Amino acid sequence: MGICIRKQSPESLNTDRKVQALINRREQYHRAGMIRKVRRDLVVDDNAMNRAVQRRYLEQEGIQCDEANNGMVALEMMVNQDYQMVWMDLCMPILDGNSTARYLKRPFFRGYQYQGPIVAVTAFADQDTERQVKEHGMSHLVPKPYSFKEIMKIRKTCSAEYTSPDDRPAS
């Protein structure tokens, strides 16, 4: 029987503490019934120009969105809100897209985890990246540069796959 020793950097320990604090805060909001389901997408990218292009594409179709410039900001925004969809750049400072998706898909508390689609957006779209994206719980991969048509196709596909019972029309 062997022992596995894992060395963590001070930065990763600090990130883990921050994320744990966010999880604790989300639990408090949940207990108080303060989690809002918003009909918006969240665009997470460290490049302001990429966020602006993505926002413009979504808004052309009447889809409102919020923006975050890194994964930690995205987690903070999701403490008291459930977004319809998250568009996640993979290469960002502070907390990258894979790590952020892993935190979102991990049960926050008492079995809760983000159920909506997380779409990876990256300039490095190869088979290895696609495998990692799936392993971290993301539903699709969109290579940069992307077109309006590609974004809307993915949005439509994800919307159909992840429609919650309370979003469906009454029959």
Tell whether the model's pLDDT for residue 40 goes beyond 80: yes
pLDDT above 50 (res 145): yes
**Contact indicator for 151, 121 with CB cutoff of 8 Å:** no
Reported as a single tens digit per residue, the pLDDT across 116-127 is 899 999 988 788
Q: 6: which 2 tokens?
A: 């894992």
Residue 152 lies in a domain: yes
What is the SS3 assignment for 62?
A: coil
pTM: 0.77
Q: Which token pair is 158?
A: 């994800």
pLDDT in the model for residue 47: 95
Residue 166 has pLDDT above 50, yes or no: no
Residue 84 forms part of a structural domain: yes
Q: Is the dihedral of CA 26, 164, 102, 62 positive or negative?
A: negative
Res 1 pLDDT > 70: no
Of residues 87 and 111, more confidence is placed in 87
pLDDT at 63 over 70: yes
Q: Per the domain annotation, does 44 fall within a domain?
A: yes
- Give the length of the chain: 171
Is 8 a domain residue?
no
Q: What percentage of residues in the chain have a pLDDT greater than 70? A: 78
More confident residue, 94 or 24: 94
Indicate whether 23 belongs to any domain. Answer: no
Instruction: Please determine, for residue 158, whether its predicted confidence score (pLDDT) is greater than 80.
Output: yes
**Residue spans of beta strands (DSSP E) within the chain:** 36-37, 41-44, 65-68, 81-82, 85-89, 118-122, 140-143
Tally of CB atoms within 10 A around 97 = 28
Domain harbouring 102, CATH code: 3.40.50.2300
Backbone angles phi, psi at 43, to 5 degrees: -105, 120
Residue 139 belongs to a domain: yes
* Predicted local confidence at residue 14, as pLDDT: 75
Say how many domains are in the chain.
1
| pLDDT the model gives residue 124 | 82
Residue 52 in any domain: the answer is yes
